[in-house]
Amino acid sequence: MVFSLWEIISPLRKTKNKKRYRWFDNILLIFLGNLSLKILFPLGLVPFANGESNQSVFCIVLFVILLDFIIYIQHILSHKVNFLWRFHRIHHSDSDMDLTTAIRFHPLEIVFSFLYKLFFVYIFSIPIEAILIFEILLSSMALFNHSNIKLPRQLDELMQLILVTPKFHTIHHSCINSELNSNYGFNLSIWDRIFRTYKHNDIDSINIGLKSFDQKEGFSIFDLLIYPLKLVRK
């Protein structure tokens, strides 16, 4: 609710399409994705986590940072591996970008993402506390950095030294491949800087979406669900 009001008061970009159509599709997609997870894994990641509660605060923080790096790598794979990109492009097919874009994922990608995290949670014996903290941070930061909100320039630049801001992440949703394949971070911006996937650009010149996808054509929710089966390039 806070980000939604913030988008109205201080928007970062002008929107191209009416919200009601995009919001319906985006919210329905996350509903179907979460429903799929509840059916397949009703208890989530908890049964696979390290149940010991004697972890120090320092260890919990390290595990949260490790999870963030793991998600950063997953995001890169979602762009570089063609099979994964087929599903991830649903997220990028949104022709505008606001807080609901953060939940616009194909249900199967949500399942794939869960299995990916489950593997590393089991391998590294990540404690429940770290998982819960990270999931809350991931959800909150995704809503924040996908929101169409404008921060004061100096504050934005200061935050970008550590965190992913809306301006930082907007470039990642560009229709231009060189920009689309950059700024992969969700929470921490340091991974993009360390691994040289960071790109700076003037967001006023960015056209959001995919060239192969035009939302004005009247894509239904069914079209979005079968879209990964189509042979389409970025």
Domain range annotation of the chain: 16-212
Residuewise pLDDT in 10s, the chain (234 residues):
565 665 556 666 666 666 666 777 788 888 888 888 778 776 677 676 776 667 789 999 999 999 999 999 999 999 999 999 999 999 998 888 888 999 999 999 999 999 999 999 999 999 999 999 999 999 999 999 999 888 998 999 999 999 999 999 999 999 999 899 999 999 999 999 999 999 987 766 788 888 777 555 556 778 888 888 765 544
**DSSP letter string over the chain?**
-HHHHHHHHS-SS---S-HHHHHHHHHHHHHHHHHHHHHH-TTTTGGGSB------HHHHHHHHHHHHHHHHHHHHHHHHSHHHHHHHHHHHT-SS-SGGGGG---HHHHHHHHHHHHHHHHHTT-BHHHHHHHHHHHHHHHHHHHS-----HHHHHHHTTTB--HHHHHGGGBSSHHHHTS---SSBSHHHHHTT------GGG--BS-TT--GGGT--HHHHHHGGGS----
pTM: 0.86
